[in-house]
């Protein structure tokens, strides 16, 4: 089954609000914040990295969730052995987001060089 293309960021924002409202209704404020944390920490950084690849929108979202569930806690745990876990969570998030932006910048410059 092919999902409809959701390239529109406004539509994605509405979907996220519906998901957060659902978790608020079922689990309360703490459940809503936990689901928001999962979206921000697991999905967002890996989505930025996968956004540079030629994948469909639904593939990027699903892959970013499952890759994020494996990569983010692994890096955080490894860093948490040496430093505080709270700091390692922030460092892991910052590094993964920076990798996403750096990959986009690198691929854009590579495309511009190939076109010239």
User: pLDDT, tens digit, for every residue of 12-61?
Assistant: 778 888 988 999 999 999 999 998 888 888 888 888 888 888 888 778 88
Please report, for the chain, the start and end positions of each structural domain, with discontinuous segments joined by +. Answer: 38-115
Q: What is the pTM of this model?
A: 0.74
> In which band, very low, low, confident or very high, does the pLDDT at 6 lie, cut at 50, 70 and 90?
low
Sign for the pseudo-dihedral over CA of 107, 108, 109, 114: positive
Residues sharing a CB contact under 8 Å with residue 36, sequence separation 6 or more, in sequence order: 20
């Amino acid at each position: 089954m092919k999902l409809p293309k959701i390239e529109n960021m406004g539509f994605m924002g509405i979907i996220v609000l519906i998901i957060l409202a659902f978790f608020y209704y079922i689990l309360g404020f703490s459940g809503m914040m936990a689901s928001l944390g999962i979206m921000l920490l697991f999905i967002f950084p890996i989505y930025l990295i996968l956004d540079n690849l030629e994948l469909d929108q639904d593939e990027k979202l699903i892959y970013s969730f499952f890759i994020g569930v494996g990569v983010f806690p692994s890096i955080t745990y490894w860093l948490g052995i040496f430093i505080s876990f709270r700091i390692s969570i922030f460092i892991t998030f910052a590094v993964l987001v920076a990798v996403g932006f750096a990959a986009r910048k690198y691929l854009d410059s590579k495309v511009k060089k190939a076109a010239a």
